[in-house]
Amino acid sequence: MTTYRVVQWATGTIGARSLRGVVEHPGLTLAGVYVHTPDKAGRDAGELCGLGGATGVTATRDIEHILGLRPNCVLYMPLVCDVDEVCRLLESGANVVTTRGEFHHPGSMDPVVRKRVEDACERGGTSIHSTGSSPGFISEAVPLVLTSIARRLDGLTIDEFADLSQRPSPELLFGVMGFGVAPTDFEERRLSRARTSFGPSLRLIADALSLPLDSLEASGELATARHHVRIAAGELAPGTVAAQRLTVTGLHAGRPLLRFRATWYCTTDLEPAWNLHATGWHLSVEGDAPLDVTVRLPVPLDRMAEVSPSYTANRAVNAVPFVCAAAPGIRTTLDLPQVTAALPQRPPTSRTTGCPGAGAKVL
Render each residue's pLDDT in the chain as its tens digit; 363 residues: 689 999 999 999 999 999 999 999 999 999 999 999 999 999 999 999 999 789 999 999 999 999 999 999 999 999 999 999 999 999 999 999 999 999 999 999 999 999 999 999 999 999 999 999 999 999 999 999 999 999 999 999 999 999 999 988 898 899 888 899 888 866 767 777 778 899 999 999 999 999 999 999 999 999 999 999 999 999 999 999 999 999 999 999 999 999 999 999 999 999 999 999 999 999 999 999 999 999 999 999 989 989 999 999 999 999 999 999 999 999 999 999 999 999 988 655 544 433 333 334 444
pLDDT number for residue 347:
57
Strand arrangement of the beta sheet that strand 280-287 belongs to: 270-271, 215-225, 241-252, 255-265, 153-163, 280-287, 291-296
Q: What single DSSP character describes residue 308? A: T
Tally of CA atoms within 13 A in the half-sphere of 146 that contains its CB: 25
Residue 275 carries which side chain, given as an amino acid letter? N
> Which domains does the chain show, CATH number per domain?
4-132+309-330 (3.40.50.720), 151-288 (no CATH)
Q: Give CA–CA dist 298/85, Å, rounded.
A: 38
pLDDT number for residue 52:
78
pLDDT number for residue 82:
97
Nearest C-alpha neighbor of 5 from the set 133, 92, 113, 104:
92
Q: What are phi and psi of 79, to 5 degrees?
A: -70, -35
pLDDT number for residue 348:
56
Q: Give CA–CA dist 126/262, Å, rounded.
A: 34
Q: Give CA–CA dist 132/82, Å, rounded.
A: 19
Based on the number of CB atoms within 10 Å of its own CB, is 272 exposed (0-12), middle (13-18) or buried (19 or more)? exposed
Residue 85 carries which side chain, given as an amino acid letter? E
**Strand partners of residue 241:** 224
The greatest distance separating any two alpha carbons of the chain, rounded to the nearest whole angstrom, comes to: 59
Q: CB atoms < 10 A from the CB of 16, how many? A: 19
pLDDT number for residue 352:
42
Q: What is the CA radius of gyration of the chain?
A: 21
Tally of CA atoms within 13 A in the half-sphere of 322 that contains its CB: 22
Provide long-range contacts, Cβ within 8 A and 24+ apart, for 81-88: 83/113, 83/116, 83/117, 86/117, 86/120, 86/128, 87/116, 87/117, 87/120, 88/63, 88/120
Written as one string, the DSSP assignment of 248-293 is EEEEETTEEEEEEEEEEES-S-EES------SEEEEEEEESS-EEE
pLDDT number for residue 249:
97
Tally of CA atoms within 13 A in the half-sphere of 80 that contains its CB: 3
Written as one string, the DSSP assignment of 332-361 is -TTTSPPP-----SS--S-SSSSS--TT--
